[in-house]
Structure 1
Amino acid sequence: MLRPLTVRVLSALVLAPPVLAVIWVGPPWTDVLLCLAAGVMVWEWARMCGARSIGWLEAVSILSVASSVALGAFVGIERAFAAVAVGALATGAVAALRRTRGGEDGSFGWFSLGIVYVAVPLLAFQWLRGLDEGRLLIVWLLLVVWATDIGAFAVGRTLGGPKLWPAVSPNKTWAGGLGGLTAAGLVSAAYVAVTGTGQFALGLLLAIAASLAAQLGDFFESFVKRRFHRKDTSGLIPGHGGLLDRVDGLIGGTLAVALVIALKEVRL
């Protein structure tokens, strides 16, 4: 029988290359990938919140987010965000109606939050990839988030020490958090050097923001899983849990980078 770590590594080796290839190629394939991811992530969120089968609630949720991503590709991000708001309201209404009939599906607030939680980062990712330097920016973002995850795990496991938030994530330490930040900064500096952009200071500041947001994203999802007594969002990816389990840091990092660029018109 394969060890859990071996299964985890093999899953990553099988799934990562095609996903990275699609992201590198760009639209329209990235839009298709994001629509598929939207469906999986919403299904996992509904499952985590207590939905036991795929019914009207899950269908409305998946349609809301997938249509938002499709609108982002065809008519622009601004109108897509309007669709997110409508989808969150519609999903909340369906969840509330089903709950009044005695269902144990959490609350309409959590289902509405799920629409926003999934759709907004996907639209932000879509927007970043569509920028003039979107390809390089997305690769940089992925490397920074992965470096944060690996650095935090390695340093935290090696040094131990005081916990960051034991009630939510008992294994994460202050040393690990700082290790993640350091790894993100180093990877960003190396990436800037290799690509020749020359913006070391800007890349470092943006990497710190993305790394902090990635760690906050990890904590938020841990909080939600504890709220609903779930270890993983699903068992879709062997050794990794669900898709939401794998992209919680990327969700936070994507939102942070998109916000900085939108406000300051920064280009890495």
Structure 2
Amino acid sequence: MTFKPARLLLALIAIAASFAYSPSFAQNLAVVNGKAIPSSRADAIVKQVVAQGQGTDSPQLRDAIKKDLISREVMMQEAIKQGYDKNPEVKAALENARQTIVINALARDYITKHPVSDAEVKAEYDRFAKQTGDKEYHVRHILFATEDEAKAAIAKLKGGAKFEDLAKGSKDTGTANNGGDLDWASPSSFPPEFAAGFTNLQKGAITDTPVKTQVGYHVIKLDDVRPAKLPTLDEVKPQISEALTQQKLAAYQEEMVKKAKVQ
């Protein structure tokens, strides 16, 4: 922000007056019952608020933060006066908070020194694209508890029964009332054995034999196939970068745990 000459003069006068009123102004936001609140604490909160897009640095924001910090200091002093800082549960919570803050500082420093590269993001995107494939399938299914029930349903379908009618008896209650519709999805969205049951079907066809998964026996119908609509690398780069960052931190944590002497 650029001050105009008149505003700059007024600002300088205000600063000079503040120093004359309180010699500790430059260091402290306020002094509450003899306990100083450093200005740096307010500066840090302002920086965080601005960084998160929740506001802009303004006198109104700083005044609100000052009032909040003063209120918190008053309450903190009263809590200590009444001995809450000696409470075992409070002490445990403080230790947990301290651990979290210190660990987060370590994690930030580690990622700063070991950032996720563009090449790593591109490699993960390519792996995702390959796994997803270039086609999406619109499938329906009916889930049965036994293989014999599934075989009986297939026989009925071949005899002219409507798939949507039989789907009403599906064990998958989430799709039973909409004809077993699983909507559009890539094969990677399903268990491998389920995906293998429909990827070679022709449009409108059903599986000749029941498809077994860990939840039961499926009769699958393929409604349609279309080219997959994958997001571009730029669209998903932030999400991929964040996921890889978390993977790096998890690997670092696992490495530290392996080195530790745990009894």
Q: Quick check: TM above 0.5?
A: no
Please give the TM-score of this superposition, normalised by the length of structure 1.
Answer: 0.25
Choose between structure 1 and 2 for higher RCO, CA contacts under 8 A separated by at least 6 residues: 1
Find the structure with the greater CA-based Rg.
2
Please give the TM-score of this superposition, normalised by the length of structure 2.
Answer: 0.25
